[in-house]
Homo-oligomer: A and B are copies of this chain.
Amino acid sequence: METVKIIEIKQSVYESNDKEAEKLRNELKERGIFLLNLMSSPGSGKTTTLTQVITKMKDKYRIGVMEADIDSDVDARTIATLGVESIQLHTGGMCHLDADMTRQGLQELTDKSIEFAILENVGNLVCPAEFDTGSSMNAMILSVPEGDDKPLKYPLMFSICDLIIINKIDVMPYFDFDMDKCIENVRMRNKNAKIIPISAKTGEGIDELTRYLSEKIDNWRE
């Protein structure tokens, strides 16, 4: 396995995270960097989904990945094997990333010409939703085994996302998961989010996902 750079993220000192987030977003826009903030529960398949996405998109965009984790560097090493820059952000027990912490991570990416930066946030459906990271897009993954009722129980997360990926559709036959009901529940929280069902394992839906991301990246960088 690759070795990766591990960054110990420091707690932010800024009073207004919203202000710092807006500032970071504007800076990234000027520099032509699209930042994707990817959130989900633990074990929803963030890293596996990113593996698929990066494999399909790395020839088109210069990609840099920041893996946030309380501990361990498993995910960053997995991503590094794909041949893109990947660093691990250790949050020291913190349950989310905010804009300043994201900035600390971006500064550690050595390739300054990246076009598509990806932040894999801490696996948590609660706290990350409360902190704007300065990203160009908020995306989340809901996996089939978690159940179609999750939008009812984690309303903020579902309401702040531009993109909701429904992963592990290959195991739908083995779970009581109703896709129509799930979409209906998502729509109670979020009228406009793009919803894309995928299986990161089999590759189903990945083409639609990468097409959607490419379009958003190209629009952002125009």
Contacts and interface: CB of A to CB of B under 8 A. Distances in A.
Contacts of A93: 126, 130, 156
Interface string A54-83: 000000000000000111101000000000
A187 interface: no
A145 B171 contact: yes
Interface of A is mostly: loop
A43 B146 CA distance: 4
Contacts of A72: 152-153
A205 interface: no
Number of this chain's copies in the complex = 2
A179 interface: no
A110 B108 CA distance: 55
Interface in A116-141: 122-127, 130
A14 interface: no
Contacts of A25: none
A150 interface: yes
Contact of A126 (B43, B127, B156, B171): B127
Given A41-B123, A127-B95, A145-B43, A69 B168 contact: no
Contact of A146 (B42, B74, B124, B149): B42
A156 B95 contact: no
A156 B125 CA distance: 18
A203 interface: no
Nearest to A168: B145
A153 B41 contact: no
A59 B122 CA distance: 41
Contact of A70 (B69, B95, B146, B155): B155
B126 A71 contact: no
A37 interface: no
A212 interface: no
Given A124-B125, A124-B127, A145-B171, 4 more contacts: A41-B146, A43-B147, A93-B130, A95-B95
Nearest 8 CB-CB pairings of A with B: A43-B146, A145-B145, A95-B126, A72-B152, A41-B42, A43-B147, A41-B41, A95-B127
